[in-house]
Amino acid sequence: MPKNDPYAALRYREFNIFLLLRFAMVFAWTMQFVVIEWEVYSITKDPLSLGIIGLMEVIPAVSMALFAGHVVDQKEKKGLLIKCIIGFSIVSFGLFLITWPRIISGMATNTVLYCVYFLVFLGGLVRAFIGPTIFSLFSLLIPKKVYPNAATWSSSVWQVGAVLGPALGGFAIHWIGVHWSMCFIFGLSLLALISLSQIPKKPVLNPNIGEPVMQSLKGGLKFVFSNKIILGALTLDMIAVLFGGAVALLPIFAQDILHVGSEGFGILRAAPAVGAAIIMFTSAYFPLNKNAGMKLLAAIFGFGLCIIVFGLSTWFWLSVFALFMSGVTDGISMIIRQTILQLKTPDAMRGRVASVNSMFVGSSNELGAFESGLTAKLMGTVTAVVFGGCMTLITVVGTGALLPKFRKLDLEEDLKEYETEED
């Protein structure tokens, strides 16, 4: 393998299939969230209702996370992931039905709203399992020496899917409406299932099969909280994303502040996708492993600044540029964090570590949506966004000052170690 080969991980067929699967699921999940956000706000015109959507997903995702990690470490990953995708498909089909005018024409608004909340809650249960399962399957598809490169591609695909999904969601609402947008999302889940069928079953690497649940959970938590590098990365990103959840308020900005409608909403959601796509390609050629700690701090600091600029902007194209730069900085943060987790986590603990990651970071997007919705209700929309950006900046400065070891983190040695491994 050539040194610094930017396509090292892509030379493995199963990993390419994995990337397609991951992209389809992230694309579908994030698009679904945006479509439902738009529909609910259109029905209620209440910012708090946007926060409740996030809360309905995050409650089961967080409460079940540790148990899900235990299950993932005990079970064969492909079979478990099939069940997760089928669960997501059921939720998507349910939302497809509940947004069908022919079905809901005679239903009370609150009834429709509560049905949406219930389906989102079920989606949160699925999410608790799907994240750790995908994280664990990742490590079984490629040799350890290409982990850093694979983490870059995997994180980048996640990031691009996470931004393109909402962006297409905005345009799809304008082009085909909420109902048929949900039908498209259901189709994406079927694509993910077809892709997964091309990956054979993998061995279970956990030597402690049958380990008591509580003992397993304690072991996972002990590992995370004793590893300052992993703990620092998770904590930093969690708090930053929590207070940087301004994108949850984009329907309000599009409709009531910038006055650009659903098409402008699509452009706003698409803007971070361009930044994320740039990072996807450049980071493969210019790895982020050297001085990773400082790069992560700088990226999240930049993200906070972007959120503040977006909140204060009343000019549409300045708002678009601020969101574009948020995609760049968020993409860098995502890639570095995933690289840290893949390099520093033992095979037997990947499910549990990924579950803690879900609790820390994965769910902070939804908690951020709730925080943004609540603060928008209490402070006003613009003030809420600026407040979130300022809290992100404070978090970065505090983390850098309190954790000098994290600030000096460099992953070059880990990279060299894996590059010398034989297949």
Which DSSP helix (H) or strand (E) runs through 354? Answer: helix 350-357
User: pTM of this prediction?
Assistant: 0.71
Q: What pLDDT band is residue 387 in, cutting at 50, 70 and 90?
A: confident
| Token output for 350 | 């990947």
Question: From CA 213, how far away is CA 268, in angstroms rounded?
Answer: 44
> Residue 423: what pLDDT?
46
Residue 99 inside a domain? The answer is: yes
Check pLDDT > 50 for residue 184: yes
Token pair of 194, please?
A: 């077809």
Q: How far apart are CA 35 and CA 43, in angstroms?
A: 12
Whether residue 2 is predicted with pLDDT greater than 70 in this model: the reply is no
Question: Which CATH number does the domain housing residue 51 bear?
Answer: 1.20.1250.20
Mean pLDDT of 280-304: 81
Of the two residues 188 and 288, the one the predictor is more confident about is 188
| HSE toward the beta carbon, residue 166, CA cutoff 13 A | 27
Within a domain: residue 230? Answer: yes
Count of domains forming the chain: 1
CA-nearest of 419, 364, 58 to 233 is 364
What percent of the chain stands above pLDDT 70?
88
The 10s digit of each residue's pLDDT in 126-136 is 988 888 888 88
Predicted local confidence at residue 417, as pLDDT: 62
- Given a cut of 80, whether residue 369 has pLDDT beyond it is no
Give domain status of residue 1, yes or no. no
Question: In this predicted structure, which of 158-172, 217-231, 254-268, 409-423 has the lowest mean pLDDT?
Answer: 409-423
In a domain, 347, yes or no: yes
Q: How do residues 59-114 score in pLDDT, each as one tens digit?
A: 887 788 778 877 887 788 888 899 999 999 999 999 898 888 888 777 787 888 88
Residue 122's pLDDT band (cuts 50, 70, 90):
very high
Asked if residue 65 is part of any domain, the answer here is: yes
414 occurs within a structural domain: yes
Tell me whether residue 146 is in a domain.
yes
SS3 state of residue 8: coil
Full domain range(s) for residue 383: 9-419
User: 270-309 burial string, b = 16+ CB within 10 Å, else e?
Assistant: bbbbbbbbebbeebbeebbbebbbebbbbbbbbbbbbbbb
Read off the pLDDT of each residue in 181-195 and give the average, rounded to a whole number.
Answer: 91
* 259: alpha, beta or left? (left if phi > 0; alpha if psi -120 to 50): left
Whether 4 maps to a domain, the answer reads no
pLDDT at 1 over 60: no
Rounded to an integer, the average pLDDT of 139-151 is 79
Helix (H, G, I), strand (E, B) or coil at 96: helix
Residue type, 67: F
pLDDT computed for residue 408 by the predictor: 80
CB distance 48 to 181 below 8 Å: no
Closest CA to 21 of 132, 112, 154, 114: 154
Q: What is the pLDDT of residue 314?
A: 84
Alpha-carbon gap, residue 257 to 203, rounded angstroms: 53
Contacts of 66 (CB under 8 A, 6+ apart): 217, 220, 221, 352, 355, 356, 359
Q: Is the pLDDT of residue 216 over 60?
A: yes
